[in-house]
Amino acid sequence: MAASGEPRKQWQEEVAAVVVVGSCMTDLVSLTPRLPKPGETIHGHKFFIGFGGKGANQCVQAARLGAKTSMVCKVGKDSFGNDYIENLKQNDISTEFTYQTKDAATGTASIIVNNEGQNIIVIVAGANLLLNTEDLRAAANIISRAKVMVCQLEITPATSLEALTMARRSGVKTLFNPAPAIADLDPRFYTLSNVFCCNESEAEILTGLTVGSAADAGEAALVLLKRGCQVVIVTLGAEGCVVLSQTEPEPKHIPTEKVKAVDTTGCLDLQRGSSVLIVTQSLQRH
């Protein structure tokens, strides 16, 4: 196990405002006219390999919008891992604490996208699950000096929980994305989250409520707010999102501009990456 080897001096001079503790996945994408049924083989018309993972997607989006970012993650000591580190660097993301391991392959996501932009995804987390608290402690200096720390659940819950704990202990604002959702999520995730951001299906799993409309999302968000979050955002795809907070507990529906979806893969991650930048800029103004 080793970090990527990026010189420390560069990133000691300019502290990352956004630190993401999360996943890197190599996307193996097949484009098809429609999604296959169980047991069915169909022809696709295009295949490509890309860079994904909820954590990395959010980090790249924040970086492309202008935030100084750092990625704390683990990839395999393999060609996918090497390519991923290079991709992060090309997006001006610090890889000082992007670790490589020989004990597991870089995480992968097998994705099928149909002509309407809908998808089905299977992930094999691989090296992501080997990111541990020891790795976080090595990165404690950048976590403690960030404006915002972001994490999800494509790494182990214990590691995400430790990252949130470290950040809050240092007075760093936290944004937590509970995906993939866990029905019996540790209650500490709620109290350690300044911003708790989930989509409608995740909200259903976490609350047991049906979320089929903005009004439903508001009810689910209230349940999550009562568990200790400071701000709750429930994203609704093309319908925008619902937002509420401890200081403004009345659910507010924020619609989005209608667009034609080409591929919805990772769109929620990009939305959350944008949210990170908004939170960061807000903190820098105060």
Say whether 61 counts as a known binding-site residue: no
User: How large is the C-alpha radius of gyration of the chain?
Assistant: 18
Cα 186 from Cα 189, distance rounded (Å): 6
Say whether 208 counts as a known binding-site residue: no
Say whether 265 counts as a known binding-site residue: yes
Cα 224 from Cα 219, distance rounded (Å): 9
Say whether 55 counts as a known binding-site residue: yes
Catalytic residue (one of 78, 135, 216, 269): 269
| Largest CA-CA distance found in the chain, in angstroms, rounded | 56
Contact present, 126 and 153 (Cβ < 8 Å): no
Say whether 238 counts as a known binding-site residue: yes
Say whether 204 counts as a known binding-site residue: no
Map residue 244 onto helix, strand or coil.
strand
* Residue carrying structure tokens 């919008």: 65
- Any idea what the Cα angle at residue 251 is, between residues 160 and 237, rounded to 5°? 65
Say whether 57 counts as a known binding-site residue: yes
Q: What is the DSSP letter of 187?
A: T
Say whether 199 counts as a known binding-site residue: yes
Residue 120's Cα: distance from chain center in Å?
18
Give me the amino acid identity at 160. Answer: S
Say whether 27 counts as a known binding-site residue: yes
CA nearest to 133, candidates 99, 160, 101, 105: 160
Is 269 catalytic? The answer is: yes
Cα 16 from Cα 142, distance rounded (Å): 7
Say whether 240 counts as a known binding-site residue: yes
Tokens of 201: 């299906």
Say whether 53 counts as a known binding-site residue: yes
> How many Å from the N-terminal Cα to the C-terminal Cα in the chain?
40
Residue numbers in the known binding site are: 25-27, 53-57, 154, 199, 235-240, 256, 263, 265, 269, 281
Could you list the residues known to form a binding site for substrate, using ranges. Answer: 25-27, 53-57, 154, 269
| Residue ranges at the known binding site for K(+) | 263, 265, 281
Q: Which residues are catalytic?
A: 269
Annotated binding site for ATP: 199, 235-240, 256
